[in-house]
Amino acid sequence: MARLFGTDGVRGLANDHLTVELAVSLAQAAASVLAQDSREHGRRPVAVLARDPRISGEFLSAAVAAGLASSGVDVLDAGVIPTPAAAFLTAEIEADFGVMISASHNPAPDNGIKFFARGGLKLADELEARIEEALDEPPLRPQGGEVGHIDVFADAEDRYALHLLRSLPRIHDDGRPNLDGLHVVIDAANGAAAGVSPQVFADAGAEVTVIGNEPDGMNINDGVGSTHLERLQAVVRRLGADLGIAHDGDADRCLAVDERGDVVDGDQIMAILATTMQRRGKLVNDTLVATVMSNLGLRLAMREHGIEMLETKVGDRYVLAELNERGLSLGGEQSGHVILTEHATTGDGVLTGLYLASVVGLTGRPLSELKQVMKVYPQVLVNVRDVRKDDCDHDAELQAAVARVAAELGETGRVLLRPSGTEPVVRVMIEAETHEIAHRTAHELAEVVRRRLAR
């Protein structure tokens, strides 16, 4: 049987791959694995349940709630809130686990189910494997008063909003709100943050203009949000706003737009936050965690500022694991998953946006100037398909070609070959001083991959 869990839970086309039956079974399996400690100590297990606003989330959350309650788990249904809010609330009320129904930045017909362990942490691979094994076992069948209750988590969004506001560092000694005087445009992607993000920014003192805040169940991520920045760029330019903040459907990502309407990606956001936190003594061990796909410019900028940069595999779960293992405070991905571990157990797009805006307020410098802390090197990615990806690291001629390209690029370039985890594909990524060099070199190396690894 193929592994059911992907890099971020179980995802698929709702009512096709991701059915009511699978949702109920997953919930029952999760109840048997993640609530075991409470049962052994005679406590009633509790789970936090939340979703983004896509229409299929209604029946899937109902199915999950039914599966959990039938297994003796009390369910607190928080309704539509961001993924990081579900993680925060799981930790705050000391629930046994949390469940989020969302397909993040995917289109509306897709959906997903992901779990958080006690403390609001993403599940370890071992726990996911145990849940998959439990799918083949008889579910728990408590009777009478031993079945779970399903209640509305009435103040879920308010608790999360208050947490965000309390997390912001104070930047004004005269009692003014943090973002006082800033005009921020927020693109909520017609997603889970459509209510809470604009409200929190306003409560923090910003003048707020909102787009992508009319979810109807089918328009999530549709031409808006962090994967479609064009509208946000246009609005920021037209209104002369100080910056724009873009979330994805479940608001665990944040990308930004400066006052000129130019994009500020996750690497640039991390560079700004890392150097600011370093100056404030908040960057633990002067270390940032990012993935192998982060831009060369981030590495060089961190080196220039005396900040060590640790690399992980692609995926925010690997960034988070490194942060937790080493007790570090900041990490993330180019895509906008940024993790501030002092205040969050996962990527939090609203928190990241607030922190970024607060740096603009703290320094009085425009975002277009702040992002100059790093130079973005041209990055070209070529996917070489239908190849023997497992031989990528073992072919002597290919590895010699990689070494030759790396030597030619020197410190102002980088080469990365990365086999796909799911397809017969090798991804060739080149960074260089100019786009022309990166494009030419990437395609030349891709030809070597095709020739040497052809199936």
Catalytic positions, written as ranges: 104
Counting other chains too, the contacts that 391-395 makes at CB distance below 8 Å and 24 or more residues apart are 391/452, 391/453, 392/417, 392/419, 392/426, 392/449, 392/453, 395/452, 395/453
Residue 139 CA, chain-centre distance (Å), reads 32
Return the structure tokens found at 119.
Answer: 């403390």
Give φ, ψ of 343 to 5 degrees.
-125, -5
Local structure of residue 138 (DSSP, 8 states): P
Place of tokens 């100590």: 41
3-state SS class at 354 = helix
Return the structure tokens found at 170.
Answer: 């104070």
DSSP string, 397-439: HHHHHHHHHHHHHGGG-EEEEEE-SSSSEEEEEEE-SSHHHHH
Within 8 A by CB and 6+ apart from 86, the residues are: 48, 49, 50, 78, 98, 99, 100, 116, 120
3-state SS class at 115 = strand
- For residue 288, which of 252, 341, 237, 249 has the smallest C-alpha distance? 341
